[in-house]
């Protein structure tokens, strides 16, 4: 089944404790992206990657890092999480040509 | 930069009634337009998309949307709502930029009365 998976689905952590949210897709898509969803703001893009080893900032990149060492994986790294990063995070992938993005199930993060 | 506005934060309709969710966008060129639905605790599912051609687009679950360039709108419609349609709906605009970024509206939460 074609899908985007994220782990973990739920995470509670404390300020300053580094964490990684994994994202993997099995559709051989070149393009991958991370969004955060906050009430009333819809989804905002954090980072995106056009291909392996090619990443760039989206609208709200501060406090986040990403890497793209393999085509299928695009982890999101919070090196020193803060409470304002409490949010619902979505990973998405696309083959680019279709401009249609397929979303993972989301990761709900609470930073205390 | 592009932007998307969904004027209605909450909408309540009776089961069986018709539905229209509004979406207005701002973008200098011809946009790619999408509607996604998010059920409680779920990810986003694509309902339909518009790239070019016929301005009336059919999607899944009986939804349709009409692109009106003169009004910069892409409203979502369904002739008869089912209780299972209760969810949050997001309109999004995509562009030709290298980032392939989707810009989302703030969402409209739909409640369905029995």
Q: Identify all chain A residues contacting B48, using CB atoms and an 8 Å cutoff.
A: none
Interface with chain B: mutation pick from A2, A94, A99, A108, highest number of B CBs within 10 Å: A99
- Note the pLDDT of residue B50: 92
B18-77 tens-digit pLDDT: 999 999 999 877 788 999 999 987 889 999 999 888 899 999 999 999 999 999 999 999
Q: Identify all chain B residues contacting A96, using CB atoms and an 8 Å cutoff.
A: 100
Q: Identify all chain A residues contacting B101, using CB atoms and an 8 Å cutoff.
A: 33, 45, 48, 58-59
Question: Confidence class of residue B109 from pLDDT cuts 50, 70 and 90?
Answer: very high
Any A CB within 8 A of B4 CB: yes
Q: Which among B83, B79, B85 is positioned nearest to B108, based on CA atoms?
A: B85
DSSP B5-73: E---SEEEEETTS-EEE--EEE-SSPPEEEEEEE-TT--EEEEEEE-SS-SEEE-GGG-EEEEEGGGTE
Residue A97 has pLDDT above 60, yes or no: no
Strand partners, A23: A6
- Note the pLDDT of residue B41: 78
CA B87, CA B81: separation in Å to the nearest integer?
Answer: 12
Residue of B nearest to A54 (CA): B99
Nearest by CB to A100, which of B46, B98, B107? B46
CA B76, CA B73: separation in Å to the nearest integer?
Answer: 10
- Tell me the average pLDDT of chain A: 93
- Note the pLDDT of residue B61: 94
A6-31 tens-digit pLDDT: 999 999 999 999 999 999 999 999 89
Q: Give the residue with greater pLDDT, B1 vs A105.
A: A105
- Note the pLDDT of residue A16: 96
């Amino acid at each position: 089944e074609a899908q985007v998976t994220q782990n973990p689905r739920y995470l509670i952590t404390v300020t300053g404790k580094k964490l990684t949210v994994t994202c993997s897709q099995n559709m051989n898509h070149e393009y991958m992206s991370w969004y955060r969803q906050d009430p009333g703001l819809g989804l905002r893009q954090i980072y995106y990657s056009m291909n392996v080893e090619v990443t760039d900032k989206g609208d709200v990149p501060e406090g986040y890092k990403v890497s793209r060492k393999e085509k299928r994986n695009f982890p999101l790294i919070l090196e020193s999480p803060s409470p304002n990063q409490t949010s619902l995070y979505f990973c998405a992938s696309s083959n680019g040509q279709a401009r249609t993005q397929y979303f993972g199930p989301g990761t709900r993060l609470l930073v205390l | 930069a592009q932007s998307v506005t969904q004027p209605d934060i909450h909408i309540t309709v009776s089961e069986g009634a018709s539905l229209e969710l509004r979406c207005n966008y701002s973008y200098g060129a011809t946009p790619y337009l999408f509607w996604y639905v998010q059920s409680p605790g779920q990810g986003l599912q694509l309902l339909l998309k518009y790239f070019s051609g016929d301005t009336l687009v059919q999607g899944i679950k009986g939804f349709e949307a009409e692109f009106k360039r003169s009004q910069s709108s892409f409203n979502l419609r369904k002739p008869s709502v089912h209780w299972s349609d209760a969810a949050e709906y997001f309109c999004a605009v995509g562009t030709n930029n290298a980032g392939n970024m989707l810009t989302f509206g703030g969402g409209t939460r739909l409640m369905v009365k029995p």
